[in-house]
Amino acid sequence: MKVKFLLLGALFSFFSGQAQIKLPGIFGDHMVLQRDQPVAVWGWSSPGEKLQLTFHQQVKETQADKTGKWRITLDPEPAGGPYELLLKGSNSLLLRDVMVGEVWICSGQSNMEFSLKLVKNAAAEIKDADYPGIRHIKIPNRVSEMPEDDIPPARWDTCSPATAGNFTAVGYFFARELVKRLHVAVGLVNSSWGGTMVETWTSRGAFQNSPEFKAMIATVPAEDLRPMVEKRHQLLADQIKLLQKNITDTLPEDDWKNPGYNASGWPKISVARIWENQNLGLKELDGVVWYRKDLVLGNLDTEKSFLLSLGKIDDNDSTFVNGTLVGVTRNYAENRQYTIAPGIFKAGNNIIAVRVEDTGGGGGFYDDSAGVYLKTGEKHISLADGWRFRIATFLNMGPGFGPNDYPCLLYNAMIHPLIPFTIRGALWYQGEANAERARQYRVAFPLMITDWRSQWGEGNFPFYFVQLASWNADHGNSERGSAWAELREAQTMTLQLPATGMSVTTDIGESGDIHPKNKQDVGWRLAAIALHHVYGQNIEYSGPVLDSAQRVGNRMVLSFTHDGSGLMTPDKYGYVRGFEISGNNRQFHYAKAFIEHNKVVVYCEAVKEPESVRYNWADDAGDGNLFNGAGFPAPPFRTDQWPGITDEKKFVVIP
Clarify whether residues 583 and 468 are in a common domain. Answer: no
Clarify whether residues 38 and 169 are in a common domain. Answer: no
pLDDT class for 76, splitting at 50, 70, 90?
Answer: very high
For a pLDDT cut of 70, what percent of the chain falls above it?
A: 96
Q: What is the pLDDT of residue 232?
A: 76
Cβ-Cβ contacts under 8 Å for 52 (sequence gap 6 or more)? 59, 60, 61, 87, 88, 89
Clarify whether residues 95 and 109 are in a common domain. Answer: no
Residue 283 has pLDDT above 90, yes or no: no
CATH number at residue 346: 2.60.120.260
Clarify whether residues 425 and 516 are in a common domain. Answer: yes
Q: What is the pLDDT of residue 402?
A: 81
Q: What is the mean pLDDT of residues 568-579?
A: 96
Residue 600 has pLDDT above 80, yes or no: yes
Is the separation of the CB atoms in 351 and 319 below 8 Å? Answer: no
Clarify whether residues 28 and 93 are in a common domain. Answer: yes
User: Measuring CA to CA, how many Å separate 577 from each of 105, 235, 439, 557, 573?
Assistant: 36, 48, 26, 15, 11
Residue 362 has pLDDT above 90, yes or no: no
622: in domain: yes
Q: What is the pLDDT of residue 400?
A: 59
Distance, CA of 616 to CA of 177 (rounded, Å): 29
pLDDT class for 15, splitting at 50, 70, 90?
Answer: very low
Concatenating the DSSP letter of every residue in 371-393 gives GEEEEETTEEEE--S--EEEEEE
| Weakest-pLDDT range from 366-380, 409-423, 600-614 | 366-380
Of the candidates 653, 217, 269, 619, which has an alpha carbon nearest to the alpha carbon of residue 432?
619
Q: What is the pLDDT of residue 399?
A: 45
Clarify whether residues 436 and 467 are in a common domain. Answer: yes
Clarify whether residues 133 and 80 are in a common domain. Answer: no
Question: Which carries the bigger pLDDT value, residue 235 or residue 454?
Answer: 454
Q: What is the pLDDT of residue 18?
A: 60
307: in domain: yes
Residue 17 has pLDDT above 80, yes or no: no
230-238 long-range contacts, Cβ below 8 Å, gap at least 24?
Answer: 231/655, 232/284, 232/396, 232/401, 232/405, 232/654, 232/655, 233/396, 233/397, 235/654, 236/282, 236/284, 236/285, 236/394, 236/396, 237/397
pLDDT class for 405, splitting at 50, 70, 90?
Answer: confident
539: in domain: no
Residue 401 has pLDDT above 80, yes or no: no
- Tell me the residue range of the domain where 419 lies: 102-214+407-533
- The pLDDT tens digits for 189-240 are 999 999 899 999 999 999 999 999 999 999 999 888 878 777 777 888 888 9
Q: What are φ and ψ of residue 232, in 5° steps?
A: -65, -40
Distance, CA of 543 to CA of 561 (rounded, Å): 8
Clarify whether residues 88 and 106 are in a common domain. Answer: no
647: in domain: no
Clarify whether residues 372 and 447 are in a common domain. Answer: no
Cβ-based neighbour number of residue 648 at 10 Å = 10
Residue 10 has pLDDT above 60, yes or no: no
Clarify whether residues 55 and 94 are in a common domain. Answer: yes
- The pLDDT tens digits for 366-375 are 877 889 999 9
CATH number at residue 96: 2.60.40.10
538: in domain: no
Is the separation of the CB atoms in 435 and 483 below 8 Å? Answer: yes
451: in domain: yes
Domain final residue pick, 101, 117, 137: 101
Mean pLDDT of the chain: 93
pLDDT class for 9, splitting at 50, 70, 90?
Answer: very low
Q: Three-state DSSP class for 149?
A: coil
DSSP state of 140: P
> Is the Cα torsion angle 297, 298, 300, 302 positive or negative in sign?
positive
Q: What is the mean pLDDT of residues 346-362?
A: 91
Strands 364-365 and 348-358: unpaired
Distance, CA of 171 to CA of 179 (rounded, Å): 12
Residue 143 has pLDDT above 60, yes or no: yes
- Number of domains comprising the chain: 4
Domain final residue pick, 36, 71, 101: 101
Q: What is the mean pLDDT of residues 306-335?
A: 94
Is the separation of the CB atoms in 254 and 353 below 8 Å? Answer: no
309: in domain: yes
- The pLDDT tens digits for 20-34 are 999 999 999 999 999
Residue 1 has pLDDT above 60, yes or no: no
Q: What is the pLDDT of residue 8?
A: 40
352: in domain: yes
Is the separation of the CB atoms in 363 and 275 below 8 Å? Answer: yes
Cβ-based neighbour number of residue 496 at 10 Å = 9
Clarify whether residues 115 and 87 are in a common domain. Answer: no
Q: What is the pLDDT of residue 496?
A: 98
Domain final residue pick, 480, 513, 533: 533
CATH number at residue 412: 3.40.50.1110
Distance, CA of 364 to CA of 615 (rounded, Å): 33
Residue 13 has pLDDT above 70, yes or no: no
Clarify whether residues 323 and 341 are in a common domain. Answer: yes
Q: What is the pLDDT of residue 396?
A: 54
Three-state secondary structure string covering 478-495: CCCECHHHHHHHHHHHHH
